[in-house]
Structure 1
């Protein structure tokens, strides 16, 4: 009896004879399948089985587009999540794949920090507002962490996801604009393969924070899934020397890049915004890569 009590105490503390026992938070996400959670989408209510019995007519809210997707494509389990004083019900929707149409050329997308995205058609999406928000949040976090009071910790907790939400919203807007334009023109989308760039690039210490807060992977993922929904081809290309190569004559030279914004070819004299020039090189590589991978 004493041994059993000792074992129970060990389980509650998270260890049994040196082995870690998995424990879960009281407010961790709870998965439900269709046997214990039912949706009434027209009424915007759900019914959930709980340890206290069935909870009926629990209201939820969603946009008109989300309700349409939920009604047509919901499949599998739903997760009930408690975060920041609010309850979220996350449903799995299985959308059918659309066939990828043969692209009429490619629009190249150069991802960066000063300009979040520059396309080969000459459009640049500035990162000035996003970088300003990140700098403001970084300074606020630094001051609150240095203060260390209870109120400071409470403010840190309230603001911990605000910057991430703003960055995600910015990336959603940019991704939608790029995919919409590609769909309108019948083009595919060429992106840089930036996997491992944080390990390859060497920067001074003040620049590392900016690089590591750069959400290029998220933007690429948003472009990818939005393009798949629209049946748009997406290809990833080698980013090497795209910022030093002339999109007009193909000459590669470090001296072609005068500064962050200016590109001037030392061979043919072609001049363009540096990010747009890089995007045109990415577009050309996208066309070549597509032709090679889809050769008869």
Structure 2
């Protein structure tokens, strides 16, 4: 059993958090006049944000108070923004540079010598004309009974903008909405994305664990033997890749727009698949009183060397999203969730502990060279994840030593 300090810290963070942030997306149904006002507002806010970004980059003023002192009056006079929207624009710019700095420190934009890194640090952040714009409660108010919002625009306060959502989403908004809401235009349709602070239910003491092994051929395999194959998703992605190649060969503006729509459609499909898998696993864990354990796979793309023909498949592997879905769905219903060390889970015998690469002669099969235990390789990996969670739970729930 291997439990790293990093994995224990991740587990402890999950257990100590008492609030879970969930995003609720509702669809707006504006009239043509309201839609024109919303579009003009987005364009004005993003033009103002790009201007503030250029000032921040040129003067190296990246803190909120400092940048607001420099650009606040100009944003109101030149771009037609009211006081609070101007403040939101400044915060949006400061947050963008904070995110850029964090990504640079984490190495997500490559080494300092790379072209991507040099481009990121050598030019100011630019905001698209239709980029999302945050609004706080002074700029946007909700009327849940009428399912409408009142929102500030450059054409004045726009009241009675209708929205639609499911009953569960409306209940979530009424009970837990807090903070900013983002106005988004996507494909000519308008959405509001609201942040909800949902109190975590008490995590129940698990009677046992479900180990989940994530993979490419099999997206998820549990220690119970449930197998969620990735064959259909792989076939769908190959078909999408062929269509992308056909559209890219045309090199027209229409083809470019269709490529963007196809990319969004593919992302939605992958998200739906991960939602379905995670929902089934969490429902089984909730019904049986068990916790859910997965392998800690952070940084795996940097650790693994691949052949050229494997790189596209591996880079588009949605394992992280599946892990996030499992984590938040488990927390939402009070199911314990752990990440455990991933080393040798598919090569270790869960009965005798013998670990050897030859224990897995091919991708699908496992056979221990010492005791002869045999079975599907992914199920064996899930059993090893489950066993590690049993041991790791002792570390997480142990009382802290007295000072």
**TM-score, length-normalised on structure 2?**
0.67
Q: Does 1:39 align with 2:142?
A: yes
Give 3-state SS (helix, strand or coil) of 1:78's partner: strand
Residue in structure 1 matching 2:223, options 93, 104, 120: 120
1:105 maps to: 208
**TM-score, length-normalised on structure 1?**
0.91
2:10 maps to: none
Q: Does 1:206 align with 2:305?
A: no
1:146 maps to: 249
Please state how far the C-alpha of 1:143 moved relative to its aligned partner: 2.3
Further displaced range: 184-193 or 23-32: 23-32
2:372 maps to: 269
Residue in structure 2 matching 1:291, options 394, 399, 402: 394
1:5 maps to: none
1:280 maps to: 383
Please state how far the C-alpha of 1:157 moved relative to its aligned partner: 2.3
Please state how far the C-alpha of 1:23 moved relative to its aligned partner: 4.6
Please state how far the C-alpha of 1:270 moved relative to its aligned partner: 1.5
Please state how far the C-alpha of 1:158 moved relative to its aligned partner: 2.1
Further displaced range: 61-70 or 111-120: 61-70
Please state how far the C-alpha of 1:15 moved relative to its aligned partner: 5.8
Further displaced range: 197-206 or 286-295: 286-295
Distance 1:275 1:22 in 2: 44
Please state how far the C-alpha of 1:172 moved relative to its aligned partner: 0.8
Residue in structure 1 matching 2:170, options 38, 46, 67: 67
Distance 2:355 2:128 in 1: 55
2:274 maps to: 171
Please state how far the C-alpha of 1:262 moved relative to its aligned partner: 1.2
Distance 2:355 2:125 in 1: 55
Please state how far the C-alpha of 1:22 moved relative to its aligned partner: 5.0
2:331 maps to: 228
Q: Does 1:253 align with 2:356?
A: yes
2:298 maps to: 195
Distance 1:230 1:127 in 2: 27
- When residues 203 and 233 of structure 1 are mapped into structure 2, their CA distance, relative to the original with a 3 A threshold, is same
- When residues 253 and 89 of structure 1 are mapped into structure 2, their CA distance, relative to the original with a 3 A threshold, is same
Report the aligned-residue RMSD: 2.0
Further displaced range: 217-226 or 148-157: 148-157
Further displaced range: 257-266 or 70-79: 257-266
Further displaced range: 102-111 or 47-56: 47-56
Unaligned runs of 5+ in 1: 1-10
Please state how far the C-alpha of 1:42 moved relative to its aligned partner: 2.3
Distance 1:276 1:15 in 2: 54
Please state how far the C-alpha of 1:292 moved relative to its aligned partner: 2.6
Distance 1:105 1:239 in 2: 19
Unaligned runs of 5+ in 2: 1-49, 59-122
